[in-house]
């Protein structure tokens, strides 16, 4: 809010009446901004707690994988055989990034 004030920006709300050109209006806006930030922090904290609880109960959280274990193995085999990432991605109907992630995780899992 201070940065906007320095730039000469005035916020006026007609219902309920609020004007940041006076001290009372700036105070109300500062309180509202602090409340919004607090609410966001609480939401993030509760989301983290909920995810941790779900993991603790053995639940899988997040987006399901695009490829199952057999498809991942097939994709790696195809890449090792010289098929380009673009071709492998097209065959499985996924993005290049997905194939890259599969290769990276495969290398980490089976390196050795």
pLDDT value for 16: 74
Q: What is the DSSP string of 49-102?
A: HHHHHHHHTT---SPPPSS-HHHHHHHHHHHHTT--HHHHHHHHT--HHHHHHH
Q: Are residues 15 and 48 both part of a single domain?
A: yes
User: Is 62 inside a domain boundary?
Assistant: no
pLDDT value for 74: 96
Q: Are residues 40 and 78 both part of a single domain?
A: no
Q: Are residues 74 and 51 both part of a single domain?
A: no
Q: How, if at all, do strands 17-19 and 12-14 pair?
A: antiparallel
Q: Are residues 46 and 85 both part of a single domain?
A: no
Q: Are residues 77 and 51 both part of a single domain?
A: no
User: Is 63 inside a domain boundary?
Assistant: no
User: Is 22 inside a domain boundary?
Assistant: yes
Q: Are residues 51 and 81 both part of a single domain?
A: no
Q: For 64-79, how does the pLDDT look when each residue is reduced to its tens digit (9 = 90+)?
A: 889 999 999 999 999 9
Q: For 35-62, how does the pLDDT look when each residue is reduced to its tens digit (9 = 90+)?
A: 999 999 999 999 999 999 999 999 988 8
Q: Are residues 76 and 35 both part of a single domain?
A: no
User: With 60 as the cut, is the pLDDT of residue 112 above it?
Assistant: no
User: Is 89 inside a domain boundary?
Assistant: yes
Total count of domains within the chain: 2
pLDDT value for 22: 86
Phi then psi dihedrals of residue 56, to 5 deg: -60, -35
User: Is 77 inside a domain boundary?
Assistant: yes
Instruction: From residue 70, give the alpha-carbon distance in Å to each of 4, 57, 66, 77, 97.
Output: 55, 27, 12, 10, 18
User: Is 112 inside a domain boundary?
Assistant: no
Q: Which domain holds residue 12?
A: 2-56
User: Is 7 inside a domain boundary?
Assistant: yes
């Amino acid at each position: 809010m201070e940065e906007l004030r320095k730039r000469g920006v005035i916020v006026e709300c007609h219902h309920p009446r609020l004007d940041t050109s006076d001290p009372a209006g700036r105070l109300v806006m500062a309180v509202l901004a602090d409340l919004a930030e607090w609410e966001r922090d609480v939401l993030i904290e509760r989301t983290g707690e909920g995810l941790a609880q779900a993991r603790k109960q053995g639940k899988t959280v997040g987006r399901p994988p695009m490829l199952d274990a057999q498809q991942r193995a097939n994709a790696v085999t195809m890449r090792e055989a010289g098929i380009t990432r673009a071709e492998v991605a097209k065959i499985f109907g996924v993005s290049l990034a997905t194939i890259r992630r599969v290769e990276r995780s495969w290398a980490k899992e089976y390196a050795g």
